[in-house]
Structure 1
Amino acid sequence: MAASDRYNIDRSQDITQPVEELHPNETIKAESNFLRGHIEDSLADPITGSLLGDDHQLTKFHGIYQQDDRDLRDERRRKKLEPAHSFMIRVRLPGGVCQPDQWLKLDELARTHANNTLRLTTRQTFQFHGVLKRDLKATMQGIHAALLDTIAACGDDNRGVMATPLPDYDAVHQQVYPVAKAVSDHLLPRSRAYHEIWLDEEPLHKGAGQVDENEEPIYGKTYLPRKFKIGFAVPPVNDVDIYTQDIGFIAITNGETLEGFNVAVGGGMGRTDNEPSTYPQLGRVIGFCRPDQAVDVAEKIVTIQRDHGNRYDRKVARMKYTIDHHGLDWFVDELQERLGWSLEAAREHPAFETSQDRFGWSQNLDGTWNYTLFVENGRVQDTDSHSMMTGLRELAGMLRGDLRITGNQNLIVAKIPQDQVDAVWEILERHGILAVTDRSHVRRHSMACVAFPTCPLAMAESERYFPHFMTKVENLLAECGLGDTPIVMRMTGCNNGCARPYVAEVGFSGRAPGKYNFYLGGGFHGQRLNKPYMENVDEDTILGELRPMFERYAAEGEAGEAFGDFVIRAGYISAVNDGREFNA
């Protein structure tokens, strides 16, 4: 077998690169026996709180990241102790839909094995933080007992599929979710490594070195060059930031009938500071498919990225770079050749109007109710001002509906029967959760990633700091006469963009403790990238720059003009509709 076949390499990308210069992760994957590696040996080693060798790379495919407490790192180094290792576990939850009994089980696991909080992510799922190695297997088996799993929640594969989380608000939403779940299920890795390691399933191949070469018919032995993300949106609401996805399916309707989807490809947020060859990118619409074609379209797009994505340099390995390298026309031709049929021309749809959640009450077709509540930066916990974790535990214990995580880190208490509406309201009010939801528009439009103390990539604070920063922004807006003006602001602790800061009207990415890159000009409903405005600046500098902008916006902003549109019209920044213009 040729090396290029073994690694699914497109050698036309850079013929000057020899095979031996493949990124080391490619060898790790190829030699992992379909993600098994030596994880079981790592778990059994009582000497260290970490995994051994390269196993921390493989556990990502199982939904697990190895981390350590960075608040303690220097102190432990001085004492000649290893870092305070723990693990983040991410659940696979297509469309963010969770049953009440599942919520209760995850809540129990968070209190038993994690850090006594649940984290709602920007991809509509749960994360546990602070799980020790000795508790990993018990936690994974507890998730399995809830009829959930963590397969492909991380790693070089298709991650959790997002979908507009409104329940049966109308007939279209009823039809979109099953398609999103079908895509998620179809693109799961087929390896039984997860079941063998975490659920004690007997291996199919017990002999040393015995590998079923057909174990991964979609991914192959080396999976994808980089992570892959898919989302489904229903206009006019872009609450999954559809243009930031590797594949975005935009619902096309005729009345209450879902006719199909416009297909957008090549979105992605990650970039690297001081690397102008890297940039965020927006998905580009390439055509239309019917609902029954969506799984096939998704699979074939994944295989194009599998075969042609860059396996030498992970900084430029996402599908956005594959498309920009080869050209969009080449990509469409390649897709249609693999499909054996052609996408139809893209269809018109109502314009997107917002990327935000609809807070408060809404009613479904069947007469049940939903209540969307604000969860600041997705952290479900009890504090001095509110007991959100306790309250939601009580609510899940009585609810006959379900719970749904939004792409903005918030929560919908969904499909509440009429006879439970008053009881739900009483629980939310008694635990202070309603007061949390009754926040300013700018705060409710904000998002932040986890960052310190656990994320190993973070260079600055995000989740722990952003609420304090938003208080200062609220005060500044009031002083400038803007009151409760909605502005989309997002922050991440590094350049990777987990909270999607590069489509925010005002975005920040961490550069060093207390220092951030400052971006302006994103679209209010996620339709446009922002652009670097200042680099490596502190809070005083940022607020000092925002004040005159807010004053001009209050005085010169046109009726209905979003702040991101204003800063472009006022000349602060130029519009960016293609990521290749981001660093220009």
Structure 2
Amino acid sequence: MSNQIDWSTLSEVEKIKYDSNYLRGTLEESLKDPVTGSIAASDTQISKFHGIYQQHDRDIAHERKHQKLEPAFSFLIRVRLPGGIATADQWLQMDQLSETHANKTLKLTTRQAFQLHGVIKKDLKTTIKGINDALLDTIAACGDVNRNVMSHANPAESDLHAQVYQLAGDISRHLIPQTSAYHEIWLDKKLVSSSKEETEPLYGRQYLPRKFKIGVAIPPYNDVDVFSQDLGFIAIEENGKLAGYNIAAGGGMGSTFGIPETYPRLGDVIGFCKPDQAIDVAEKIVLIQKNNGDRQNRKQARLKYTIDRNGLDWFKKELFSALGYELQAPRPFKFTRNGDRYGWKQGTDGKWSLNLFVEGGRVKDLPGYPLKTALREVAKKVKDAQFILTGNQNLVIANTEKKQKVAEILKEHGVWPAPLSGLRQNSIACVALNTCGLAFAEAERYLPDLISKIEKILEKHDLLKNEIVIRMTGCPNGCGRPYLAEIGLIGKSPGNYNLYLGGSNNGTRLNALYKETLNEEQILAELKPIIADYASNKKSNEPFGDFVIRQNYVQEITQGRDFKH
């Protein structure tokens, strides 16, 4: 079969996947190689399917090169956690692993997953075993497969919320790779001898052309940014019951500077399905992408480009043919916001949940703000609590009868309650420097300081409480969904950012480039008069993103192909 494929026409990753023997590659040999802290180049692609990215510390790269040393290699490990829910014991295990095998921090991602950073090669296997000991895993957290399925943050809010969370888990299980390579390599499970050759029934030997993302949202809250997903399910409630889901297809945030053929795109709502049809719809859309996605150019390989290249009518025809039925017409819905709702909330079962802000999603102890220690104490002493990771990098200490105990621990450590501006509450930052190899500029380490300076402008105009969505990434790949922000900042070079304005506060509109390659002083100078104008001339309850479009600071973008860097 391999001899029938013209590999010269495909991206090099396609052959790596094909030759990997269902995601084994030479990972075992790479892990045992004591000469280097890295793994083989081809294995860096295969390891992603196992939830691992090879990185190095870019802060010290120049010094190490001068000393004729290889880069300070380490690994990011991402945990698959559909719907973002962990138990108190699982939180404690992740906390412990971060202390013993990583950089002593936990990263809460924008896909409701844990990340460990700074794991060195010799500790990879032990760390992944430790994650699995907590009944968690890392398979398919990265790579050219369906990744962590997102859902509304708290299933205990209603029966409908519980059904949506269940769907996220069911889809994740249905679309997970079937190879036994993960258990062989990381958990020492031996392949059971069989006369039948191993197969990957859904994905095949080459898996998908690129990553695939799925999210499930419940109006009026769009806290998973459902239109940024390759495939989005929008829960429709009728008469207090889950009627089914509107289907949105073709979202995606990634783009590349200097390549206008790449762009962020919002998913199109293409129809409505009943609850028992949702998994079938997900499978068939994944298969359409598998069979029709671009395997020559990885920058054109996401579902959004497959749809734009062939047309939405073609896509719907392919889907209806694969399903054997047509989707119903979409049902009415409305999103009001895509941020988290902070503070305490009581569920229908009488239990309490606290949505806690975590700046940049980084759980660590800071002088005067020992967040990691405080959450460890909550997990130890409030065993009935769940720890729910949100799509906005925050944390819900959820579904506990011990509201007072949680509050006491957090207040004791001085981490809650804390006054936060509406801007800071709605901020997202990707990791960027010093570990991400794609980053051109800072994001997580810098955005908090920049927000403090923007807050001074907001305070002058009595706008500190106004919710404004701000997001910063170190590159245009879109990991922090910056193209949906009312204020988006994307790293162009060290200390310089493109400024984008005009996204919506409910995740239903892309922003547009306002000014290029600005340093901090220039960013603040550009925002100052716009914020002043907003304070003086906004309509009652008018969101900032709507205002900048009405005032013609930027033009509204309705199609991804119209987006420009």
State the match for 1:212 in structure 2: 197
User: What secondary structure does 1:561 align onto?
Assistant: coil
State the match for 2:448 in structure 1: 467
Determine the C-alpha separation between the residues in 2 that align with 1:497 and 1:3.
37
Determine the C-alpha separation between the residues in 1 that align with 2:257 and 2:365.
36
Q: 1:81 to 1:2 in 2, by over 3 A?
A: closer
Letter paired with 1:167: P
Pick the aligned partner of 1:402 from 373, 377, 386.
Answer: 386
Q: 1:571 to 1:49 in 2, by over 3 A?
A: same
Letter paired with 1:80: K
Pick the aligned partner of 1:289 from 273, 277, 280.
Answer: 273
State the match for 2:340 in structure 1: 357
State the match for 2:405 in structure 1: 423
Pick the aligned partner of 2:485 from 477, 480, 504.
Answer: 504
- Pairwise mapping of residues 432-581 of structure 1 onto structure 2 (< 5 A)? 432-436=414-418, 438-581=419-562
Match status 1:56 vs 2:40: no
Determine the C-alpha separation between the residues in 1 that align with 2:203 and 2:69.
39
User: What secondary structure does 2:47 align onto?
Assistant: helix
Determine the C-alpha separation between the residues in 2 that align with 1:314 and 1:375.
33
Q: 1:64 to 1:101 in 2, by over 3 A?
A: same
Pick the aligned partner of 1:374 from 354, 357, 371.
Answer: 357
State the match for 2:325 in structure 1: 341
How far the C-alpha of 1:72 sits from its partner, in A, is 0.7
Determine the C-alpha separation between the residues in 2 that align with 1:571 and 1:211.
64
State the match for 2:309 in structure 1: 325
Give the 4+ runs in structure 1 shifted more than 3 A: 1-4
State the match for 2:157 in structure 1: 169
State the match for 1:11 in structure 2: none
State the match for 1:90 in structure 2: 78
Determine the C-alpha separation between the residues in 1 that align with 2:265 and 2:497.
20
State the match for 1:316 in structure 2: 300
Determine the C-alpha separation between the residues in 1 that align with 2:164 and 2:143.
26
User: What secondary structure does 2:431 align onto?
Assistant: coil
Determine the C-alpha separation between the residues in 1 that align with 2:117 and 2:564.
34
Letter paired with 1:395: V
- State which drifts further: 167-176 or 134-143: 167-176
State the match for 1:121 in structure 2: 109
- Pairwise mapping of residues 29-48 of structure 1 onto structure 2 (< 5 A)? 29-48=17-36
Determine the C-alpha separation between the residues in 2 that align with 1:140 and 1:503.
34
Determine the C-alpha separation between the residues in 2 that align with 1:472 and 1:424.
32
Letter paired with 1:163: S
User: What secondary structure does 2:327 align onto?
Assistant: coil
Determine the C-alpha separation between the residues in 1 that align with 2:433 and 2:164.
36
User: What secondary structure does 2:137 align onto?
Assistant: coil
State the match for 1:266 in structure 2: 250
User: What secondary structure does 1:472 align onto?
Assistant: helix
Determine the C-alpha separation between the residues in 1 that align with 2:424 and 2:385.
28
User: What secondary structure does 1:362 align onto?
Assistant: strand
State the match for 1:13 in structure 2: none
User: What secondary structure does 1:138 align onto?
Assistant: helix
Determine the C-alpha separation between the residues in 1 that align with 2:193 and 2:497.
50
How far the C-alpha of 1:261 sits from its partner, in A, is 0.2
Are the counterparts in 2 of residues 167 and 415 from structure 1 also a CA contact under 8 Å? Answer: no
State the match for 1:103 in structure 2: 91
State the match for 1:221 in structure 2: 205
Determine the C-alpha separation between the residues in 1 that align with 2:314 and 2:197.
33
Are the counterparts in 2 of residues 167 and 364 from structure 1 also a CA contact under 8 Å? Answer: no
State the match for 1:9 in structure 2: none
Aligned residues: 564
Letter paired with 1:252: I
State the match for 1:78 in structure 2: 66
Same amino acid, percent of matched pairs = 54
Task: Compute the TM-score of the two structures, normalised by the length of structure 2.
Answer: 0.98
Determine the C-alpha separation between the residues in 1 that align with 2:282 and 2:548.
37
State the match for 2:11 in structure 1: 23
Determine the C-alpha separation between the residues in 2 that align with 1:394 and 1:269.
37
Are the counterparts in 1 of residues 184 and 191 from structure 2 also a CA contact under 8 Å? Answer: yes
How far the C-alpha of 1:520 sits from its partner, in A, is 0.7
Q: Runs of 5+ in structure 2 lacking a partner?
A: none
Pick the aligned partner of 1:245 from 214, 220, 229.
Answer: 229
User: What secondary structure does 1:158 align onto?
Assistant: coil
Determine the C-alpha separation between the residues in 2 that align with 1:456 and 1:580.
27
Pick the aligned partner of 2:137 from 149, 174, 177.
Answer: 149
Determine the C-alpha separation between the residues in 2 that align with 1:429 and 1:234.
32
User: What secondary structure does 1:154 align onto?
Assistant: coil
Task: Compute the TM-score of the two structures, normalised by the length of structure 1.
Answer: 0.95
Determine the C-alpha separation between the residues in 2 that align with 1:385 and 1:530.
37
User: What secondary structure does 2:41 align onto?
Assistant: coil
Are the counterparts in 1 of residues 355 and 396 from structure 2 also a CA contact under 8 Å? Answer: yes
Q: Runs of 5+ in structure 1 lacking a partner?
A: 7-17
1:178-215 deviation digits (Å, cap 9, x = unpaired): 11110011000001110000000112469xxx9835x2
Determine the C-alpha separation between the residues in 2 that align with 1:204 and 1:506.
54
1:140-196 deviation digits (Å, cap 9, x = unpaired): 000000000001000000000000012311221021111111001100000111000
How far the C-alpha of 1:398 sits from its partner, in A, is 2.1
Are the counterparts in 1 of residues 423 and 464 from structure 2 also a CA contact under 8 Å? Answer: no
User: What secondary structure does 1:168 align onto?
Assistant: helix
Determine the C-alpha separation between the residues in 2 that align with 1:485 and 1:55.
47
User: What secondary structure does 1:434 align onto?
Assistant: coil
Determine the C-alpha separation between the residues in 1 that align with 2:495 and 2:544.
25
User: What secondary structure does 1:574 align onto?
Assistant: coil
